[in-house]
């Protein structure tokens, strides 16, 4: 049975990996983006939108499963309000519209440590999005909490670059419970998300130990 997949944030590190991996296996994914995708696979469709306008009257094509990979940083966004607009408001709006377009499942890239009650603004926003999406009514909700993501981004994130260097030093010492804070290659997270697409019903959380690292 042919599945209709939409990837929100397909220009980002994880979303772009999902896009290319789905296309490589013969699917025809839809890339929902704010700007052009570099090296768009021939069997993928581009849906370029203005997210602010999309909140008002946008609609999505038929969708079976949504990969929610939208995300930015406070530094890149320019303010907390701008960050929340992308990571919460836009993400939640797309999830609602995917549900209206027929989606029964969603795979969400969140963050390790996300908590709706966290004192940290970034982690609180991520946690609030998790809770909001859990209330929408998807049959399958897969929530991924990676640590630092490793891979080549189109945009420069200096603090993340520093984190990558530190993670190479710290990762071997993160054992047991704290192993969930290890860094992860974006392509491995992407392949895990694809593998788990139709595997579980209900709400499911995945951390480092659950990723395709073998």
Q: What is the pLDDT of residue 29?
A: 96
pLDDT, tens digit, 9 for 90 and up, residues 53-81: 888 888 999 999 999 999 988 888 889 99
What are the structural domain ranges in the chain? 5-207
Q: Is the pLDDT of residue 41 over 90?
A: yes
Q: What is the pLDDT of residue 139?
A: 96
* CATH code of the region 5-207: 3.40.50.720
Describe the strand order of the beta sheet including 105-109 as a list of residue ranges. 45-48, 30-33, 5-8, 65-68, 105-109, 140-144, 202-206
Q: Give 172 or 150, the one with higher predicted confidence.
A: 150
Q: Give 75 or 106, the one with higher predicted confidence.
A: 106
| HEC assignment per residue over the chain | CCCCEEEECCCCHHHHHHHHHHHHCCCCCEEEECCCCCCCCCCCEEEECCHHHHHHHCCCCCCCEEEECCCCCHHHHCCHHHHHHHHHHHHHHHHHHHHHCCCCEEEEECCCCCCCCCCCHHHHHHHHHHHHHHCCCCCEEEEECCCCEECCCCCCCHHHHHHHHHHHHHHHHCCHHHHHHCCEEHHHHHHHHHHCCCCCCEEEEECHHHCCCC
Contact by Cβ (8 Å): 67, 15 = yes
| Cα–Cα distance for residue pair 115/132, rounded to 1 Å | 12
Q: What is the pLDDT of residue 55?
A: 85
Mean pLDDT score across all residues of the chain: 89
- What are the Cα distances from residue 117, in Å, to 68, 124, 206? 22, 6, 20
| Cα–Cα distance for residue pair 163/161, rounded to 1 Å | 5
Contact by Cβ (8 Å): 175, 140 = no
Please state the rounded mean pLDDT for residues 82-90: 95
Please give the model's pTM, rounded to 2 decimal places. 0.89
Please state the rounded mean pLDDT for residues 31-41: 88
């Amino acid at each position: 049975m042919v599945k209709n997949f939409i990837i929100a944030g397909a220009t980002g590190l994880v979303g772009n990996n999902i896009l290319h991996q789905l296309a490589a296996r013969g699917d025809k994914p839809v890339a929902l983006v704010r700007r052009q995708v570099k090296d768009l696979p021939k069997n993928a469709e581009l849906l370029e939108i203005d997210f602010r306008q999309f909140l008002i009257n946008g609609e999505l094509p038929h969708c079976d499963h949504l990969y929610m990979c939208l995300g930015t940083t406070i530094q890149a966004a320019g303010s907390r309000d701008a960050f929340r607009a992308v990571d919460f408001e836009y993400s939640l709006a797309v999830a609602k519209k995917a549900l209206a377009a027929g989606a029964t499942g969603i795979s969400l890239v969140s963050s390790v440590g996300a908590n709706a009650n966290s004192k940290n603004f970034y982690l609180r926003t991520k946690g609030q999005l998790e809770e909001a999406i859990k209330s929408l009514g998807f049959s399958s909700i897969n929530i991924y909490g990676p640590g630092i993501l490793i891979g080549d981004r189109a945009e420069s994130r200096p603090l993340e670059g520093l984190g990558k260097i530190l993670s190479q030093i710290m990762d071997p010492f993160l054992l047991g419970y704290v192993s969930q804070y290890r860094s992860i290659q974006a392509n491995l997270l992407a392949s895990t998300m694809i593998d788990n697409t139709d595997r579980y019903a209900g709400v499911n959380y995945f951390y480092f130990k659950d990723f395709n690292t073998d």
